[in-house]
Amino acid sequence: MGIRLRSYQAYTTSVMTTIGSVSYQRMALRPSFKEDKRLLLENGIDGYIFPLDDVLGLSRLPYKLTIEAMLTVAKEASQCESYEEAERVLKDLTLIRTNDDTIRAVTNCIGGLVHDQDLRRADKYWNLFNTAKLVFPETKKNYTLYLQCDGAMIATRPEKTNADESEEKKRVLWKENKLGMAFSSDNIRYWTDIHGKIKHSIDKREYTGLIGNCELFSKMMLSLAIRNGYGLYKNTILISDGATWIRKMKETYFYDAIQILDFYHLCEHVFTFAKEIFDFDEKKYTGWAETVVDLFRNSKSNEVISIIKKIPKHRLAKVSFDILQYIDNNKSNIDYLTYRKQGFFIGSGAIESGNKIVLQQRMKLGGMRWNTNSAQAVLSLNAKRISNLWEKDVVDLVFSHYAGAPASVVKQRVKDLI
């Protein structure tokens, strides 16, 4: 260290690491020797010398935890029901003893790093796209890339105001989380169950999420698509609920994709329309709605339009949903018979399921309200964990950020030391 201590006491201690217990020697000043303490303070050392702490990177870490411990804390916080539950799990299953406030802070820190990395990557691909520097091969893989989008509302705390604190706590500001998903048909596994029905499972998928505006999320979707092979596959399918912003995203970034209106969203709108037309008389609206749905399934939307136009105007006037406008907005995205003949999915069940496991199971439990930054941090970490990208997109990023090297390099340094 370049410092000669005139009076110190040495002792041996140990620390539990991911590779087992490591023993090392510490040197502590005797409290009575103020001159030695002054010498240490002048050289930036507050009372102790930690030779191993520096190698492990503890001297550069913000929460007095090793990098491995920080990653463990963040991972548990992203999948437990609450920060308090994460505290209990860490106490029971690991040697990490910390409180829920520290867990929240660590999670925000690491989740923030991951989110910032996603934004940088989105900017990179957007710049390549915007300057026409993305080059795709002429020969495509004979598979299909699927892109899906969906939104879900999350309860957040409003920004602090001068309002009465008790009233402030009661306020809830709902914000939309936009979730995107990408997977390809070469990662879909099919089998036949005991009843002879064909089942399938998506073995590899990736999620991205944003509590933010449509423009930024569209860039993140472009990044997600490119990471999963956009431009390399014969077909690209974008399945959505027909929202205007998604149609604009398709026109801007995925002009060569086939956009499909989620068939089950269409069915929901048909049944909602039918209920209002027939005054919620189940015997009347059920058969009518099923007939219309069947016509849509077989790409007979013109027949549906003719049926609707025959409904008396006084009945149509009672309905809040303009189904004719809805059909017109999506007329190029509802050729379901052709889609099915080509073997394409026509439903967004995968992204609906994703919303449950990425967002709802962790972030929409009873009484929860989120600070926006905390919500985004947990959302980003959850997306990486469920996409099986924890090692690639979280662990290596955090090690590089704090230790200046990927995880494998830092772990080798520790092995060499002992």
Question: In the structure encoding, which two tokens stand for residue 147, read together?
Answer: 């892109």
Question: In the structure encoding, which two tokens stand for residue 224, read together?
Answer: 């997600």
Q: Which pLDDT does position 132 carry in this prediction?
A: 85
Angle of the 396-403 helix axis to the 100-130 helix axis, nearest 10: 100
State the Cα–Cα distance between residues 234 and 258, nearest whole angstrom: 11
- Cβ density class 118-148: b for 16+ within 10 Å, e for less: bbebbeebbeebeeeeeeeeeeeeeebbbbb
Torsion angle of alpha carbons 181, 182, 188, 193, nearest 10°? 10
SS3 at position 181: strand
**pLDDT tens for the chain, residues 1 to 418:** 334 444 445 556 676 666 667 666 555 544 444 554 455 455 554 544 444 555 555 566 677 788 888 999 999 999 999 999 999 999 988 878 889 999 999 999 999 999 999 999 999 999 999 898 888 888 888 999 999 998 888 888 876 655 555 555 567 788 888 999 999 999 989 888 888 888 888 899 999 999 989 999 999 999 999 999 999 999 999 999 888 899 899 999 999 999 999 999 999 999 999 999 999 999 999 999 999 999 999 999 999 999 999 999 888 888 888 899 999 999 999 999 999 999 999 998 888 888 888 888 888 888 888 889 999 999 999 999 999 999 999 999 998 888 776 666 655 554 554 4
- The 10 Å Cβ neighbour count of residue 163 is 10
First to last CA, the chain: 19
Helices marked H in 131-262:
165-170, 214-227, 244-253
In 283-356, DSSP assigns E strands to none
Torsion angle of alpha carbons 270, 273, 278, 282, nearest 10°? 50
